């Protein structure tokens, strides 16, 4: 599998991805083989159906939202670059990256980008605000059917009230960052990609 | 009623339990200690235990000591002093840390507490590291220390007198190498390093027990049969026994965890024994493992970790609090005893056999090998960890390898016949323990500060964090699945699915199972906020009727602190839906709440005074009296005002008011006691309903006196020698002259037994009023009788100054006026009840979702009675009174009838 992946993936492409996402060479080839195994149509891109075929995602409450997050707005295909770009959000922040010069553009796996990814899951209409309805939708996905709308509504209200500082009854991205500032997002939004 | 405070209502339990426990602990712990001690020292003085307890509480409270010196150090020092005193007095050391006492009672209390309250998520997140350090690290330490000591012996660094060969040194290495959970807890809890670091060191100290136990037992048996007779197969047996001991211990613990969860599923009817089950089964897990020579600590730890989730969800809030504080108290008692006895045990010449070479070698070796082991393992671990352990972490981990009482107890247990150098080992162990606990314990805090180790914040997650972190977990699981990694989140998700589909179904109550964790978290946060609001507000009692959720929301807005604001903003009482309050304040609602506020201040203060009788420990007495007086005066004023207005009402009702003269206003002071008494006894009854079932039974006959009393009142209309003709038309006035028997016969039935005497007194005083002569005097007996009834509030009932004067001077008119007033009062109250009840009913559906599951079956609260009780209790009590089905409201106005007489 790996050999096939590396044959299909040009060296300069790997270099570009490496530069953009910070993944190592072996990680990229490994993920590329995963990408091709997901790509049933074998056209170099993944469609929503390809993602939906992953059995575990079917039982993930936020599965569909996360699938959507892989697709750029208005498109329903994602190529390997886009795939890697999304996954790069979850790369742990390494020590040598912390001290990087601030002038360079922010890496995809920075704290802000991690939070932005989570924020976008809530923010369906992309108006950079989580409205009560949007929050309710996500909450509804995450809790079972046993909890009543009323209860859920009160949770949503409280959540918004807690986060809302400018009184517009919705959570902006800045408020989102602020309310999670004490959370170790770097750790809680990272997974270990095998080397 | 006296017993009421013994079972404090919900929030009080939470907020006060700390107080209670700190107060009680002194007395309690002595008892507990004595019970424990008697099993070991049947007749030795309890005064020593008193001393232990006393000193521990001193250290607890003296800030100066504990900020600089860890408690464990102080306790050991104190133990040394005590041991010295005993040694001088007795010439012989009577007390020492008995291994039996330690392993059967002291250690399990600490381990049980640690296991049960172990942060499970954190523990399993770091399980890999913990296991590595616990198994590999301990083995490494044990072997290296043992071999190197033997080498030192061969090199002649250790004196010839220490008769020990390789096996002995390996045995010693095994027992001295294990990091001790007691010491680690004692020191690290004060240092407050970050959670991850703490859980790694502490988890290691718990899980290395299996290694220590196995190594210890294997070496003991090797030493006993003699090193020459050990065959190769025995080494493999040792390895096999390690697997059995560790895995077996874990399994025993998990089995007991399942049993415990399963039992607590069915304790709904017997809430009182819920904590008992928790203690019993967790302890049983320990004993069972010990019985089968498995790792008892592992067993207990995993029993605690495994059961915690299900038990906490199943048992009631009270039981939760009980379990928490009892465990913490017991654990800190055990810790105190352990350290003091360590100190005492050290002062024992018979055990000491000093060898500088052995002591210094041991100290150096354990320190060096700990450091080397940590660095080596971390280097390997960091290749696999998401969050690498950096150098600072490694330093703290190496430095935090504290040895403690487990090592001491194990070394004392050695058999001097087989291990010739036992005395040397004991002395060395004591020195090592003292050095690690005292020197390292003392210096670790500055070290942590100096290294700028990230500290832990004891912050509870907000609702946003709860929600978003859950979302993070889902996201990570999905990403792992997409990336095709079978990583940690993948398996955690698998476990959670399994837990949800099978385990939780088996171990959780149906009502709990159906609830969402998120909702639970939400409620927990709400309750916490509510409590903190009450704590901060101190005397916001009048706002207490605003129940949890609405207050909780306010907690995040510090500008809303005063009562009036609360009332204005959250006027509609219990309200779950914040939107309603904040967006649609409504002028009427505001008006209503203003009214409520006024009424709340004026009407119900007397009962609050009554309540403060039971919380006298928490409220200064002088202030209470002053407040009572104020309330009394304010009451008088407002009643007069309202009286003026209600006079017109009565005109409308076509009641004869010709005879309502100016004298009535003067009569009020005499009336109030009657009024208060009625309220007072009502309050008692209501409280009774909330707390005990007996009193509720006593209340149900209320319905009967209602008609009887009315009959009794109305029948004598023609007969009584009424002073004026007009009065005779008024039934309640007519009853003035009517013989009290109709009251005393019927009414005594409705009075709770413990109030009978007071009731009789008031009746007799009433009788004395109704007798024609002595116009002025009757007032006073009555007042005094009432003040007797009211217990702690005589001062407040002596009307101050001018009012008091008018009372006695116009005493002749008293009997007239007194029975006009109640009617007026009643209308006023009814009005208030109406609008309060209305507000309450509005909130019904919302509140029902708030209530704890157990209460769902109880009928909805009658509108009349609830607000009264809620006004001056804290929210939970308010909910409670709603929940515990107060008496039917219809009976209330009438029930007052007989009581007023």
pLDDT band with cut points at 50, 70 and 90 for residue B634: low
Domain boundary (A88, A118, A136) is at: A88
How confident is the model at residue B860, as a pLDDT? 43
How confident is the model at residue B53, as a pLDDT? 56
Residue A145 CB partners (closer than 8 Å, separation 6+): none
Q: CATH number of the domain that B85 lies in?
A: 1.20.1530
Q: Report yes or no on B560 lying in a domain.
A: no
Mean pLDDT of chain B: 66
How confident is the model at residue B144, as a pLDDT? 92
Q: Which two tokens stand for residue B142?
A: 């044990």
Q: Report yes or no on B177 lying in a domain.
A: yes
How confident is the model at residue B116, as a pLDDT? 92
Q: Tell me, letter by letter, the H, E, C secondary structure of B422-448.
A: HHHHHHHHHHHHHHHHHHHHHHHHHHH
Instruction: Assess whether A57 and A110 both reside in one domain.
Output: no
Give me the total of CB pairs closer than 8 Å, taking one residue from chain A and one from chain B: 159
More confident residue, B391 or B61: B391
B562: number of Cβ within 10 Å: 12
How confident is the model at residue A23, as a pLDDT? 83
Q: Does A187 contact B387 at a Cβ distance shorter than 8 Å?
A: yes
Q: Which two tokens stand for residue B479?
A: 């990403």
pLDDT band with cut points at 50, 70 and 90 for residue A195: low
List the domain range (segments joined by +) for residue B483: 468-528
Q: Report yes or no on B361 lying in a domain.
A: yes
**How far apart, in Å, are the Cα atoms of B324 and each of B116, B278, B318, B319?**
9, 10, 10, 8
Query: Alpha-carbon torsion B383, B385, B390, B391, what sign?
Result: negative
Q: By C-alpha distance, which of B174, B716, B208 is closest to B407? A: B174
B257: number of Cβ within 10 Å: 26
CB B456 within 8 A of CB B198: yes
Q: Report yes or no on A115 lying in a domain.
A: yes
**How far apart, in Å, are the Cα atoms of A86 and each of A8, A26, A114, A118, A130?**
21, 18, 10, 12, 21
Range from B415-424, B683-692, B826-835 that averages highest in pLDDT: B415-424
pLDDT band with cut points at 50, 70 and 90 for residue B305: very high
What distance in Å separates the CA atoms of residue B736 and residue B716, rounded to the nearest whole number?
Answer: 10
Output the CA angle B421-B423-B425, nearest 5 degrees.
Answer: 70
pLDDT band with cut points at 50, 70 and 90 for residue B370: very high
Residue with tokens 């559906």, as numbered in its chain: B845
How confident is the model at residue B323, as a pLDDT? 92
Question: pLDDT tens across B426-465, in order?
Answer: 889 988 998 888 888 888 888 888 888 877 766 777 778 8
Q: Report yes or no on A40 lying in a domain.
A: yes
Pairing of strands A77-79, A45-47: antiparallel
Residue B807 CB partners (closer than 8 Å, separation 6+): B669, B670, B779, B799, B814
CB B124 within 8 A of CB B348: no
Q: A66 to chain B, minimum CA–CA distance in Å?
A: 7
What distance in Å separates the CA atoms of residue B504 and residue B512, rounded to the nearest whole number?
Answer: 9
How confident is the model at residue B652, as a pLDDT? 52
How confident is the model at residue B843, as a pLDDT? 42
pLDDT band with cut points at 50, 70 and 90 for residue B66: low
Q: Report yes or no on A95 lying in a domain.
A: no
Contacts of A193 in chain B (CB under 8 A): 483, 485
Q: Report yes or no on B383 lying in a domain.
A: yes
Instruction: Assess whether B199 and B328 both reside in one domain.
Output: yes
Instruction: Assess whether B517 and B396 both reside in one domain.
Output: no
Q: Is the pLDDT of residue B420 over 70?
A: yes
Q: Does B578 contact A158 at a Cβ distance shorter than 8 Å?
A: yes
Instruction: Assess whether B407 and B473 both reside in one domain.
Output: no
Nearest to B578 among A59, A161, A191 (CB): A161
Instruction: Assess whether A184 and A118 both reside in one domain.
Output: yes
Span A103-120, mean pLDDT? 78
More confident residue, B259 or B235: B259
CB B219 within 8 A of CB B418: no
How confident is the model at residue B109, as a pLDDT? 92
Domain boundary (B507, B528, B549) is at: B528
What distance in Å separates the CA atoms of residue A163 and residue A182, rounded to the nearest whole number?
Answer: 13
Contacts of B560 in chain A (CB under 8 A): none
Instruction: Assess whether B80 and B173 both reside in one domain.
Output: yes
Nearest to A146 among B467, B484, B515 (CB): B515
Instruction: Assess whether A178 and A149 both reside in one domain.
Output: yes
Instruction: Assess whether A140 and A177 both reside in one domain.
Output: yes
Q: Is the pLDDT of residue B349 over 60?
A: yes
More confident residue, A187 or B32: A187
What distance in Å separates the CA atoms of residue B566 and residue B558, rounded to the nearest whole number?
Answer: 12
List the domain range (segments joined by +) for residue A145: 106-188
Instruction: Assess whether B343 and B210 both reside in one domain.
Output: yes
Q: Which two tokens stand for residue B738?
A: 């009517």
| Four-CA torsion B790, B791, B797, B800, nearest 10 degrees | -160
Mean pLDDT lowest among B374-383, B506-515, B609-618: B609-618
pLDDT band with cut points at 50, 70 and 90 for residue B766: low
Q: A150 to chain B, minimum CA–CA distance in Å?
A: 8
Quick one: chain A helix, strand, coil %, rounded to 5? 60, 5, 35
Q: Does A147 contact B384 at a Cβ distance shorter than 8 Å?
A: no
Output the CA angle A163-A165-A170, nearest 5 degrees.
Answer: 60
Q: Report yes or no on A3 lying in a domain.
A: no
Contacts of B487 in chain A (CB under 8 A): 191-192
Among A38, A67, A151, A153, the strongest candidate for a mutation testing the B interface, having the largest count of B CBs within 10 A, is A151
CB B679 within 8 A of CB B696: no
pTM for this one?
0.60
Nearest to A90 among B479, B490, B552 (CB): B479
- % of chain B beyond a pLDDT of 70: 51
Domain boundary (A57, A88, A119) is at: A88
Q: Does A147 contact B846 at a Cβ distance shorter than 8 Å?
A: no
More confident residue, B273 or B797: B273
Question: pLDDT tens across B713-735, in order?
Answer: 444 444 444 444 444 444 444 44
Looking at the 3D structure of chain B, how many domains does it have? 2
pLDDT band with cut points at 50, 70 and 90 for residue B254: very high
Residue A30 CB partners (closer than 8 Å, separation 6+): A2, A5, A193, A194
Nearest to A61 among B390, B468, B474 (CB): B474
Burial B159-174 (b: 16+ CB within 10 A, else e): eeebebebbbbbbbbb
Q: Does B556 contact A162 at a Cβ distance shorter than 8 Å?
A: yes
Span B179-187, mean pLDDT? 88
**How far apart, in Å, are the Cα atoms of B89 and each of B76, B387, B713, B768, B778?**
20, 56, 80, 71, 69
Q: Report yes or no on A94 lying in a domain.
A: no
Nearest to A143 among B459, B497, B516 (CB): B516
Q: Is the pLDDT of residue B42 over 80?
A: no
pLDDT band with cut points at 50, 70 and 90 for residue B231: confident
Range from B480-489, B678-687, B710-719 that averages highest in pLDDT: B480-489
What distance in Å separates the CA atoms of residue B550 and residue B560, rounded to the nearest whole number?
Answer: 12
Instruction: Assess whether B420 and B505 both reside in one domain.
Output: no
Q: Does A150 contact B387 at a Cβ distance shorter than 8 Å?
A: no
Nearest to A161 among B459, B474, B553 (CB): B553
More confident residue, B80 or B872: B80
CB B182 within 8 A of CB B410: no
In chain A, the residue whose alpha carbon lies closest to the alpha carbon of B850 is: A151
Q: Report yes or no on B491 lying in a domain.
A: yes
How confident is the model at residue A116, as a pLDDT? 87
Instruction: Assess whether B50 and B181 both reside in one domain.
Output: yes
Residue B601 CB partners (closer than 8 Å, separation 6+): B542, B634
Q: Does A87 contact B467 at a Cβ distance shorter than 8 Å?
A: no
Mean pLDDT lowest among B295-304, B456-465, B807-816: B807-816
Q: Does B474 contact A66 at a Cβ distance shorter than 8 Å?
A: yes
Q: Report yes or no on A33 lying in a domain.
A: yes
Looking at the 3D structure of chain A, how many domains does it have? 2
Instruction: Assess whether A119 and A181 both reside in one domain.
Output: yes
pLDDT band with cut points at 50, 70 and 90 for residue B140: very high
Domain boundary (B504, B528, B552) is at: B528
Instruction: Assess whether B415 and B521 both reside in one domain.
Output: no
Instruction: Assess whether A82 and A19 both reside in one domain.
Output: yes
Instruction: Assess whether B388 and B507 both reside in one domain.
Output: no
């Amino acid at each position: 599998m790996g050999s096939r992946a590396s044959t299909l993936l040009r060296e300069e492409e790997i270099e570009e991805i490496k530069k953009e996402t910070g993944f190592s060479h072996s990680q990229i080839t490994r993920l590329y083989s995963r990408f091709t195994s997901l790509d049933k149509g074998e056209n170099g891109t993944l469609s929503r159906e390809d993602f939906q075929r992953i059995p575990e995602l079917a039982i993930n409450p936020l599965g569909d939202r996360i699938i959507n997050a892989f697709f750029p707005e208005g498109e329903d295909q994602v190529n390997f670059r886009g795939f890697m770009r999304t996954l790069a959000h979850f790369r742990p922040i390494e020590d040598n990256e912390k001290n990087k010069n601030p002038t360079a553009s922010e890496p995809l796996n920075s704290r802000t980008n991690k939070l932005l990814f989570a924020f976008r899951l809530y923010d369906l209409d992309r108006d950079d605000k989580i409205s009560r309805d949007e929050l309710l939708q996500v909450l509804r996905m995450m809790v079972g059917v046993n909890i009543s709308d009323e209860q859920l509504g009160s949770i949503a209200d409280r959540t918004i009230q807690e986060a809302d500082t400018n009184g517009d009854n919705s959570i902006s991205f800045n408020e989102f960052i602020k309310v999670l500032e004490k959370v170790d997002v770097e750790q809680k939004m990272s997974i270990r990609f095998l080397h | 009623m006296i017993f009421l405070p013994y079972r404090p209502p919900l929030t009080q339990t939470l907020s006060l339990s700390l107080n209670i426990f700190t107060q009680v602990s002194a007395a309690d712990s002595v008892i507990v200690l004595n019970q424990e001690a008697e099993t070991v020292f049947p007749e030795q003085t309890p005064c020593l235990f008193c001393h232990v307890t006393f000193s521990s509480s001193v250290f607890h409270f003296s800030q100066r000591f504990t900020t600089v010196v860890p408690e464990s150090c102080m306790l050991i020092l104190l133990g040394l002093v005590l041991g010295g005193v005993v040694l001088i007095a007795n010439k012989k050391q009577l007390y020492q840390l008995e291994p039996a006492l330690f392993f059967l009672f002291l250690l399990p209390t600490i381990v049980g507490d640690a296991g049960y309250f172990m942060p499970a998520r954190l523990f399993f997140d770091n399980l890999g590291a913990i296991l590595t350090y616990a198994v590999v690290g301990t083995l490494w330490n044990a072997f290296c220390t043992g071999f190197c000591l033997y080498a030192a012996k061969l090199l002649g660094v250790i004196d010839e007198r220490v008769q020990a060969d390789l096996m002995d040194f390996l045995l010693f290495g095994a027992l001295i190498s294990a990091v001790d959970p007691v010491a680690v807890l004692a020191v690290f809890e004060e240092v407050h390093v970050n959670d991850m670091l703490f859980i790694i060191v502490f988890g290691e100290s718990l899980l290395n027990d299996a290694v220590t136990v196995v190594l210890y037992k294997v070496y003991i048996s090797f030493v006993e049969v003699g090193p020459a007779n050990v065959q190769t197969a025995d080494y493999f047996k040792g390895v096999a026994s390690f697997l059995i001991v560790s895995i077996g211990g874990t399994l025993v613990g998990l089995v007991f965890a399942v049993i415990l969860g399963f039992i607590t599923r069915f304790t709904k009817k017997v809430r009182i024994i819920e904590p008992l089950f928790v203690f019993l089964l967790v302890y049983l897990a320990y004993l069972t493992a010990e019985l089968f020579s498995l790792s008892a600590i592992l067993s207990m730890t995993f029993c605690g970790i495994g059961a915690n989730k299900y038990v906490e969800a199943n048992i009631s809030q009270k039981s939760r609090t009980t379990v928490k504080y009892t465990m913490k108290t017991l654990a800190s008692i055990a810790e105190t005893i352990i350290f003091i006895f360590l100190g005492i045990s050290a002062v024992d010449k018979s055990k000491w056999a000093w060898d500088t070479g052995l002591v210094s070698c041991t100290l150096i070796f354990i320190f060096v090998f700990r450091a080397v082991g940590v660095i080596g393992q971390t280097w390997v671990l960091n290749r696999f960890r998401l969050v690498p352990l950096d150098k600072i972490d490694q330093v703290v981990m190496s430095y935090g390898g504290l040895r403690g009482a487990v090592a001491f107890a194990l070394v004392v247990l050695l058999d001097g016949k087989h291990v010739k150098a036992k005395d040397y080992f004991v002395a060395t162990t004591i020195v090592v323990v003292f050095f690690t606990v005292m020197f390292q314990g003392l210096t670790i805090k500055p070290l942590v500060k100096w290294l700028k180790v990230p500290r832990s914040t004891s912050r509870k997650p907000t609702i946003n964090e709860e929600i978003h972190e859950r979302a993070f977990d889902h996201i990570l699981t999905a990403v792992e699945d997409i990336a095709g990694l079978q990583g940690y989140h993948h398996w955690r998700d698998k476990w959670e699915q399994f837990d949800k589909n099978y385990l939780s179904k088996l171990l959780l109550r149906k009502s709990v199972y159906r609830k969402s964790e998120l909702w639970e978290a939400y409620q927990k946060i709400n309750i916490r906020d509510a409590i903190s609001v009450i704590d901060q507000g101190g005397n916001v009692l009048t706002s207490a009727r605003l129940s949890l959720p609405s207050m909780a929301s306010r907690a995040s807005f510090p500008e809303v602190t005063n009562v009036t604001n609360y009332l204005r903003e959250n006027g509609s009482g219990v309200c779950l839906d914040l939107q309603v309050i904040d967006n649609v304040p409504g002028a009427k609602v505001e008006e209503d709440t203003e009214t409520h506020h006024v009424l709340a201040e004026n009407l119900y203060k007397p009962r609050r005074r009554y309540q403060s009788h039971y919380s006298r420990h928490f409220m200064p007495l002088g202030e209470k009296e002053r407040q009572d007086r104020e309330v009394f005066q304010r009451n008088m004023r407002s009643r007069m005002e309202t009286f003026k207005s209600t006079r017109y009402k009565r005109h409308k009702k076509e009641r004869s008011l010709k005879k309502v003269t100016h004298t009535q206003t003067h009569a009020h002071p005499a009336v109030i006691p009657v009024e208060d008494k009625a309220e007072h006894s009502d309050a008692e009854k209501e409280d009774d309903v909330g707390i005990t079932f007996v009193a509720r039974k006593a209340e149900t006959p209320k319905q009967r006196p209602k008609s009887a009393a009315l009959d009794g009142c109305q029948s004598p209309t023609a007969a009584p020698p009424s002073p004026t003709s007009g009065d005779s038309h008024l039934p309640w006035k007519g009853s003035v002259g009517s013989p009290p028997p109709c009251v005393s016969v019927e009414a005594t039935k409705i009075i709770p037994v413990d109030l009978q005497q007071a009731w009789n007194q008031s009746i007799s005083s009433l009788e004395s009023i109704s007798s024609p002569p002595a116009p002025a005097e009757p007032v006073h007996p009555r007042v005094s009788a009432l003040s007797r009834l009211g217990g702690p509030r005589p001062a407040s009932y002596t009307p101050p100054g001018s009012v008091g004067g008018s009372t006695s001077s116009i005493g002749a008119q008293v009997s007239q006026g007194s029975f006009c007033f109640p009617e007026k009062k009643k209308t006023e109250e009814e009005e208030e009840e109406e609008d309060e009840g209305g507000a309450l009913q509005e909130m019904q559906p919302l509140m029902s979702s708030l209530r704890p599951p157990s209460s769902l079956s109880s009928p909805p609260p009658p509108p009349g009675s609830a607000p009264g009780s809620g006004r001056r209790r804290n929210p939970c009590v308010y909910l409670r009174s709603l929940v515990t089905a107060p008496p039917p409201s219809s009976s209330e106005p009438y029930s007052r009838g007989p009581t007023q007489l």
